[in-house]
Structures are given as C-alpha cells and as structure tokens.
Amino acid sequence: MSRPHLVRRPLVAGNWKLHQTIGAARQLAREVRNALAGPRDVQVVLAPPFTALAAVAEVLEGSGIEVAAQDVWYADQGAFTGEISAPLLLDAGARHCIVGHSERRQLCGETDALVRRKVEALLAHGMRPIACVGETLEERNAGRTLDVVLRQVDAILGGLSLHAPDQLAVAYEPVWAIGTGRNALPADAQEVHAAVRRRAAEHLGEATAAGLRILYGGSVKPDNAAELLAQPDVDGALVGGASLSAASFVAIVRAAEGRIPERG
C-alpha cells in the first residue's frame, strides 16, 4: 500500500508576481525567514521578480527557504533581448523556477512546446521547475478540464526521465481561480490532481509519480489552505496574493505542516 505522506514532502511556494522593489522584497523575505526559523517538514520557496532574486537569496541564506524565479528562457545565452537563462538564475541564487504560468500562457502567448523547452533547460542545469497547468472557465464549463490539463501535462512530462521525483513539481492552477478569491472546491482539485498523477505515472513510472509533488494554486488563503491541503493528492500550494504578506503566507505553510500527521 502506498504511503504518500512519507514520500512527498509538502511544498509551499510564494509567487510574488510583478510586486516588490528590492527593498520591499528583502523586508518580506526577512519576515518570512524570521517567522519560519527552525526545522520544518515543509519545503518553502519564494519567487520574487528577477530584479530582487539576488537580494532575497542573500536574506534567505542558511534559512533552508529557497528561491525560485518566475520564468526562464530555454537558451543559456545569445541574442535573446530581455530574456534570462537558467545559468543566470543560478548565479542570482535561484534553485527553482515557475514555468508555464497561465499569465504567461495567456498574456505572452506561451505554448506547450515553449514550456517544455523551458522545463528541459532548467533540468539540464539542475534547477527544479514548478510547471503550471490549468483550464480557463470557458474550458471548465465546456467539460474540457481534464482534456486541457492532461494535454499540458503530456507536453511537460512526455518522454522525460527524472532522477528523483522532487526534481520537478506540477502546479494545478485553474485560471478562473487565480486572483479571483474563488478557489477550486477541494474535491474538484483532488479529482484533477489524481488525474495528473495517473497521467504522470504513464510518463514517469509509478514510483516517480507517487513521489511527484502536485501543488494547488488559485486563491489559496489561510482560511481555505487546510481543507485544500487535506486532499490526498494535493501536496502543497502555489500562492499568489496571500504570499505578499508574511503573516498570511506563514499561516499557509503552517496549514501544510498540519497536513502531515493528518495523513499519517
């Protein structure tokens, strides 16, 4: 019998999006670091904008809290004006990177194929992608949620081989739940997460899929985090708005900690 709580360490990541000057980012990182001092059963990651990566990495040094970028380009260097590569992110102190966020898919025209190239570039440099998938409201209302999400999962995981399941995390972020205050019902999130894990098993094998972290994102707040994280296939959270306050982000990390004995 599988005992997922033993193989999957919850991951809570704060996506600060286009917020925080370097000074404000340092301050917020310091508050999170101080509130979460000491050993933790939850992996905690902060994703500031590019300009604040190095400053946040410096504040978090030695804390066990890790830094993520919000995007990457697939080439290491070259004539790609405005882009940032995995080696530059590593140089700035990032070890994780969000890719395929719906805001980039929708506003910047990112395709499944581009997201896949970015995943490969990150893995090639030992960085850990947090690869986002999710359906729009229109797609959900048309009953196409799983078609869309699993197509995105196929593009990310098809033919991929991971040395360890924690090399990559998938984040299910229903587009209609992002920044709307309207989170997915826990049971609906669970249904999608379970389907993602089943599909991941086809690509990566049962053992790797059993260890893969699948995060939920979309209006995660302190008052709904526990019930979302109590779902058996919800292994953490990708938090937008609520990660801009140390108090609410830390409350979500605490909810993820609470999940561990609950599932034992």
List the catalytic residues.
Answer: 101, 173
Round to whole Å and give the CA distance between 103 and 108. Answer: 7
Question: 77 — phi, psi (to 5°)?
Answer: -165, 170
* Binding map of ligand 13P across residues 174-213, x = CB under 6 A, - = no contact: ----xx----------------------------------
For the bound state, the minimum distance from the C-beta of residue 12 to ligand 13P, rounded and expressed in Å, comes to 11
Secondary structure class of 183 (helix, strand, coil):
coil
Joined tokens for residue 21: 């000057």
For the bound state, the minimum distance from the C-beta of residue 255 to ligand 13P, rounded and expressed in Å, comes to 14
Tell me the pairing of strands 236-239 and 96-99.
Answer: unpaired
Site for ligand 13P in 9-28 (CB under 6 A): 15
Return the residue of 168, 220, 252, 253 that touches ligand 13P, per CB under 6 A.
Answer: 220
Determine the straight-line distance between the first and last CA of the chain, rounded to whole angstroms: 13
Closer of 208 and 243 to ligand 13P (Cβ): 243
Q: Please answer whether residues 246 and 234 qualify as being in contact, where contact means their C-beta atoms are separated by less than 8 angstroms.
A: no
For the bound state, the minimum distance from the C-beta of residue 5 to ligand 13P, rounded and expressed in Å, comes to 24
Helix axes 222-229, 246-262, angle to 10 degrees: 20
Closer of 92 and 238 to ligand 13P (Cβ): 238
Return the residue of 10, 217, 222, 236 that touches ligand 13P, per CB under 6 A.
Answer: 217
Helix axes 186-204, 222-229, angle to 10 degrees: 50
Site for ligand 13P in 227-256 (CB under 6 A): 238-242
- Is 149 exposed, middle or buried, given 0-12, 13-18 or 19+ CB atoms closer than 10 A? buried
Round to whole Å and give the CA distance between 229 and 232. Answer: 8
- Residue closest to ligand 13P, measured at CB: 240
Closer of 222 and 240 to ligand 13P (Cβ): 240
For the bound state, the minimum distance from the C-beta of residue 239 to ligand 13P, rounded and expressed in Å, comes to 5
Question: Contact residues for ligand 13P (CB under 6 A)?
Answer: 15, 101, 173, 178-179, 217-220, 238-242
